Amino acid sequence: MEFRIAARAAAFRTGLRSFAFLAILALLALPAASALAQGQQQSPPPPNATTAPPAPGSAAQQSAAPQLPGAPEPPIKVTTGLVHLVVTVMDHHHNFITDLDKGDFKILENGTPQDIRFFGRETDLPLRIGLLLDTSNSIRPRLDFEKDAAIDFLTRVIRRDKDMAFLMTFDNEPQIIQDYTSDASLLESAIRDQRAGGGTALNDAIVMASEKLIHPPLPRGPEAEVRRVIVIISDGNDNLSDHTLSDATDAAIRSEAAIFTVSTNTDWLSIDDASKPRKYNLDPGDKILQNFADQTGGQAFFPYRVDDLAQSFYDIGTELRSQYFIAYSPAGPAPRGEYRKIEVETDRKGLLVRTRKGYYAVAPSGAGPSAQ
């Protein structure tokens, strides 16, 4: 079956439910010892302080304020040497499980159990969003759908003076069309002006967006904290990038940006009931989009109708309000830039746990060779 572009574009603007993206946690604040001495809990460093290679002018350290079970706790502050995770837990019906405690989780790094240092639920950090719009010739028939989806998404999610987004298009090469802004009308105008043509350089676009998200504009005040998100609307088929698939995945992991993908592929089949079409096969482009989401702790969506897309975006918002924040201090050899695999498990049976698959262990800038 095919997308009905004109009907979808009109229905989308009225059918999409609002939701809000909420929070990737972590920022450098006070050393753990002094903060604990003052009776405060502390939490992990910014992504590029612990899990990404140090870079000149690296982003300011972040802090988070998740709600712990029971009575309210002071904001969690960041310390150096910690790995932080945003974790989603669902049952087999895909209902979010939000009543787990610290003792219900088990963290493994390269198979070795880790001690959880900090734990919390639900965060509401300012968003820094890179919206990547495929404008290659292969999606020409679906470009109007992409535009309407992108505009409606940004209009609903961007909170003025809190969240910011930039627009990037990619065909023969990626291009930043609108830089960081909290003004959705500027983003809408930029999206409306786009035309399709050329090849597809998806990997190059992800690398460029990830690099840009490492150093985003930070909120004013002592607690400069943001969540980094990449939203890709594309068919996933890359035929022109200089960077490889692994280059793009690594870049996103190093920036700690969660990737959410919306496929524009039309490879659908109705089985028995024509009113309930089902995706019977993920084509190569779909699998690429799925991989980006899986590796970074995001999610891939394969909408069929406008209502399906609206539900997908609603589910993203619900997920981001139903997550756990976990931080641990790696127990193991000194970081040497190697990739370390992360597994998060829960003692409760039958639950699905989702988070990023790992990180690059690089000592914070200025730390000795044994620093974590």
Same domain, 333 and 214: no
Residue 295 lies in a domain: yes
User: In sequence order, which residues have a C-beta less than 8 Å from that of residue 269 and are 6 or more positions away?
Assistant: 1, 277, 278, 279, 280
pTM of this structure: 0.70
* Packed helices 284-296 and 245-255: angle between N→C axes, nearest 10 degrees: 30
Residue 192 lies in a domain: yes
pLDDT digits (tens, 9 = 90+) for 20-65: 333 333 333 333 333 333 333 433 444 433 443 333 333 333 333 3
Phi, psi of 237 (to 5 degrees): -90, 115
In this structure, what are the phi and psi dihedrals at residue 344, rounded to the nearest 5 degrees?
-120, 125
Residue 25 inside a domain? The answer is no
Residues 159 and 305 in one domain: yes
Residue 366 maps to a domain: no
CB 235 within 8 A of CB 139: yes
pLDDT of residue 29: 36
Q: 36 and 156, same structural domain?
A: no
For residue 57, what pLDDT is reported? 35
Q: What is the pLDDT of residue 44?
A: 41
Rounded Cα distance between 148 and 52, Å, is: 35
Q: What is the pLDDT of residue 277?
A: 55
Exposure b/e, 307-341, CB count within 10 A at least 16 = b:
eebbbbbebbbebbbbbbbbbbbbeeeebeeeebe
- Whether 94 maps to a domain, the answer reads yes
Task: Using alpha carbons, select from 19, 20, 23, 21 the residue that is nearest to residue 225.
Answer: 23
In a domain, 24, yes or no: no
Residues 116 and 129 in one domain: no
Q: Which H helix or E strand runs over 145?
A: helix 143-157
- Same structural domain, 196 and 211: yes
User: Both 328 and 223 in a single domain?
Assistant: no
In a domain, 368, yes or no: no
Residues 152 and 242 in one domain: yes
Judgement on whether residues 197 and 312 belong to the same structural domain of the protein = yes
Please tell me whether residues 262 and 350 are part of one structural domain: no
Residue 150 is predicted with a pLDDT of 83
Residue 61 sits in which domain range?
A: 32-122+322-360
- The whole-number pLDDT of residue 116 equals 95
| Phi, psi angle pair for 123, to nearest 5° | -135, 160
How far, in Å, CA of 243 to CA of 206, rounded? 9
Q: Which amino acid is at 134?
A: D
Residues in the chain predicted with pLDDT less than 70, given as ranges, are 1-80, 122-124, 222-224, 266-280, 305-307, 309-313, 317, 320, 363-372
Evaluate whether residue 150 is within a structural domain. yes
**CATH at 249:** 3.40.50.410
**Count of domains forming the chain:** 2
pLDDT at 320 (0 to 100) = 67
Residues 155 and 263 in one domain: yes
Residue 150 and residue 267 in one domain? yes
Query: Strand pairing partners for 170?
Result: 134, 174
Q: Are residues 334 and 316 in the same domain?
A: no
The pLDDT tens digits for 331-344 are 878 888 899 999 99
